[in-house]
Chains A and B, each alone.
Chain A
Amino acid sequence: MTDTISAPTQPSPAPAGDNGNGGGDTTARQVAQRRWRASRGIVLVIFATVLVAIILAALKPTVTPGYLDPTEPGRDGTRALAEVLKQRGTPVTVTRRAADAVSQSNPSSVLVITKPENLTPADVGRLRAASGDLLLVTPSRELLEALAPGVFPAAKSLEEVAEPGCSLPAATLAGRVDFGRSSETYELPSGAAGCYRADEFARVVQLPPTSAAGRTVTIIGSATPLTNENLTKEGNAALAMNLAGARSSVVWLIPDRPRAGSGGDKSLGDLIPFGVNLFFFQLAVAVVLIALWRARRLGPVVAEALPVAVRSAETVEGRARLYRAHHARERAAAALRAGAIERLVPLLGLPRSAAQDPAAAHEIVAAVARRTNAGEAAVGAALYGPEPADDAQLVGLTDFLDDLERQVRES
């Protein structure tokens, strides 16, 4: 491969047959190689970008459809937790719409809200009206504002296992808990209980019942302790049971993806962060600057009036094509005969004027026939005969005239 690519760049005395052409003309292959050399950088960059994108997509943890679903027996489901709760006498009702969750909740139930990214702003508003305790699993910012005012998301924590480090009974009974590869932590308001802290932020936050709502809101920064796969690790099962099974029944809200158009009144522009808008703006500025750089030439473009290129023989070639297009055999034959006679006459020792003279025709034919092996009739037909009937005859006539001329010349 490297040999064939580097061959044309060598100086001209390349070994014969190396690339099939000895001269300086560029072959299609050389052109292709030159284009490849010119564009291979771009192709490599595109290839590398696609490769990186594929790797990133492969590394990203996939969310299976049954994630946190109490009816799902897979790794990411929560059927194990639901079954255990049922055995302990705490029925679990699964709902997939926020409105149903609100109607099924009662003052002695715990409403578990999962997958907050599927909740529309309208759903969040409805959930305010839910009665009973709340357990928010990795809540979104909007959900926190609505249901747990005063709690703000802080940094992510990458430590997997954490100690309770608080006085909340549910946590102290559970002991150490495995929160998985990454978990959210929260900034808590005064009076709230924060457990499983990373620095000063807590992974599990419980807001005490307030006089207004009279319910307990618990926030957990990771869904890992609830899943089938991790329920048996450390004190995960205990923590999950203590939080979800704190009251007499459980309403498990696992919202479906909202239908398109039901998401509220936010346009695409509202959803794009301001920084990204500025990024594109600056990108446009950069493009303008690059255009200005390319537009400014080092010196002007020089126009030069070039002479016309008209080939002198163009009219003759045009007439030849017209003859052919119209099968002008008569005219073609007449011109060829006149030319042949013009050349034959001096060879025969006749005066030049005889060529145009119809009276001299017989004399010319006789003289030609004498000096060639063709009969007088054939020579007469060739030099003064009728128009050729078809194209083949015209070609034959031309060859015959050539033959006569050659014989006369050689005789």
Chain B
Amino acid sequence: MALTGRLGLLALLGAVVPIFLPSWWTMLAIWGVLLLGVLLDLALAGNVRALRFHRTGDTNVRLGQTAHVALIVENLGDRKVKARLRDVWPPSANATPDGSGDGRTVTINVPPGERRRVDMTLVPSRRGDRKAVTVTVRSVGPLGLAARQLSRAAPWTLRVLPAFPSRRHLPAKLARLRELTGQHVALIRGQGTEFDSLREYVDGDDVRSIDWRATARRADVVVRTWRPERDRRIYLVLDTGRTSAGRVGDIPRLDCSMDAALLLGALASRAGDRVDLLAYDRRVRARVEGASRTDLLPAMVQALAPIEPELIECDAAGMVSTLMSRVRQRCLVVLLTELNTAAIEEGLLPVLPQLTARHLLMIASVSDPRVDEMAAARGDLAAVYDAAAAERARAERRRLTAELRKYGVEVVDAPPDELAPALADAYLALKAGGRL
């Protein structure tokens, strides 16, 4: 039940009457009239209880794109229901019904036994799951004094996936990869290559690659060809601890890391490598393991969508032990974290030898263009002190990078929009060097 402004206005006008007829009976009469109007309206308003709600539409949308979810209103009653309807979503879903005047509510008119469709347009502004809260309908009676109102759940979840803006780099990186593979159908055998096939010797082939055993079995001279190793394992590890919450520009570090991880995952799976994913702070936040080449990217995107940075220190020892227990064979571990001196020195460095003894580690980190901007600041005293602080931060980062490299760790440190291609390049370089 809900009252209307008209009722308040009538009560206000009714206040004039007792000035001329000063009696309690007058008051009772006024109240009686108002009450009668309210009861009449409640009796004659559309029966909102007889409404049923169903939904249909998008369940996934990439951040920054528009999703459409339809709400179907079914009238099971025997009277027409004319009502104002509000489909309530969380604010960051930016849900607006089509054909709405105020951007929030819409008027529906459902005859008995029929259905009407309310189209919602959602432009989510944040990643994650957006759940429809409730549907509220209000049907005002014929006198406009009171209304029947009801809220009813109509569950629907819209998963907002990471935007993955760096996918535009994928064709270029795949071209590089093909070039690499073609180049390595070369005959050089070495670390990181594996046997591809036997073919007939042609002039110019290295005599060292002649397969004498196969030659002996056949009339021709046969050479072995090699190709970059396939079916290597790549383990992508996302640090979702406190350092991933910091914003570079207006984007959390974690989102940049996700973008880079998605590009690398897409690239490596096309290159024939097995890609696994782990998101970790003090416990496992998301894991994708053993996904096939075709459904790796959807699986990663779905796993990453609801992850938010946690404001706790990342447990590097726990992360390493989790990782070691999951993978036996040698693999490339790509750790997407922040090169924060305190966090790395106290957390990761003590357990680093364990990890590097078995695996190849690559650390990818987003650098903040604001620091470079501050380092270049000149002019007044404040700018000079800014520059000094920025130089100090950069020096610390350089020192940390150098220290990590001493352990044989590959470090990729790039601004947000260059991190994903830089990481892909580093992977391709490793592959070309046969170091996987």
Q: Give residues in A with beta carbon < 8 Å to B.
A: 273-276, 278-283, 285-286, 289-290, 292-293, 296, 298-300, 302, 304, 306-317, 319-321, 323-324, 328, 331-333, 335-336, 338-339, 342, 391, 394-395, 398-399, 402
Between A296, A311, A313, A324, the greatest number of chain B beta carbons within 10 A of the residue's beta carbon is seen for A313
Smallest CB-CB A-B distances: 8 pairs: A275-B22, A278-B18, A332-B388, A312-B246, A290-B8, A299-B136, A286-B11, A339-B391
A402 to B375, CA, bound (A): 11
B264 to chain A, nearest CB (A): 22
Choice from B8, B11, B245, B381 contacting A394 with Cβ under 8 Å = B381
Q: Can you name 30 A-B pairs with beta carbons within 8 Å?
A: A274-B22, A275-B18, A278-B26, A281-B18, A286-B8, A289-B7, A289-B11, A290-B5, A290-B12, A292-B3, A298-B104, A299-B135, A302-B91, A302-B133, A304-B90, A312-B246, A312-B366, A316-B368, A316-B374, A317-B389, A320-B374, A320-B385, A320-B386, A320-B388, A335-B391, A339-B394, A339-B395, A394-B384, A395-B381, A398-B378
B239 to chain A, nearest CB (A): 14
- Among residues of A, the one whose C-beta sits closest to the C-beta of B4 is A293
Q: A residues within 8 A CB of B384?
A: 332, 336, 394-395, 398
In the assembled complex, B199 has its CB within 8 A of some CB on chain A: no
If A302-B89, A324-B385 are given as contacts, then 14 extra A-B residue pairs at C-beta distance below 8 Å, sorted by A number, are A278-B24, A290-B5, A293-B4, A298-B104, A299-B133, A302-B90, A307-B308, A307-B309, A312-B368, A316-B368, A335-B389, A338-B395, A339-B395, A342-B395
Choice from A293, A302, A395 contacting B8 with Cβ under 8 Å = A293
Is B133 a contact of A276 with CB atoms below 8 Å? no
Chain B, residues 357-398, CB within 8 Å of chain A (1/0): the string is 000000000101011001100101110111111111111001
Q: Give residues in B with beta carbon < 8 Å to A.
A: 2-5, 7-8, 11-12, 14-24, 26-27, 30-31, 84, 86, 88-92, 104-105, 126, 133-136, 138, 149, 151, 245-248, 252-253, 308-309, 311, 366, 368, 370-371, 374-375, 378, 380-382, 384-395, 398
A310 to B89, CA, bound (A): 26
A394 to B386, CA, bound (A): 13
Q: B residues within 8 A CB of A398?
A: 378, 384, 387
A37 to B84, CA, bound (A): 28
A399 to B3, CA, bound (A): 72
Is A339 a contact of B368 with CB atoms below 8 Å? no
- Among residues of B, the one whose C-beta sits closest to the C-beta of A280 is B15
Q: A residues within 8 A CB of B371?
A: 313, 316
A180 to B252, CA, bound (A): 87
A355 to chain B, nearest CB (A): 10
B279 to chain A, nearest CB (A): 15
Is A285 a contact of B380 with CB atoms below 8 Å? no
B419 to chain A, nearest CB (A): 13
Is A319 a contact of B389 with CB atoms below 8 Å? yes
A289 to B104, CA, bound (A): 25
Is A312 a contact of B248 with CB atoms below 8 Å? yes
A143 to chain B, nearest CB (A): 24
A309 to B253, CA, bound (A): 11
A307 to B375, CA, bound (A): 29
Between B12, B16, B389, the greatest number of chain A beta carbons within 10 A of the residue's beta carbon is seen for B389
A105 to chain B, nearest CB (A): 40
A320 to B386, CA, bound (A): 5
A320 to B86, CA, bound (A): 50
Choice from B21, B27, B245 contacting A307 with Cβ under 8 Å = B245
Q: A residues within 8 A CB of B22?
A: 273-275, 278
Is A323 a contact of B247 with CB atoms below 8 Å? no
Is B151 a contact of A336 with CB atoms below 8 Å? no
A25 to B104, CA, bound (A): 24
B410 to chain A, nearest CB (A): 18
Q: A residues within 8 A CB of B308?
A: 307
Is B381 a contact of A293 with CB atoms below 8 Å? no
Is B380 a contact of A395 with CB atoms below 8 Å? yes
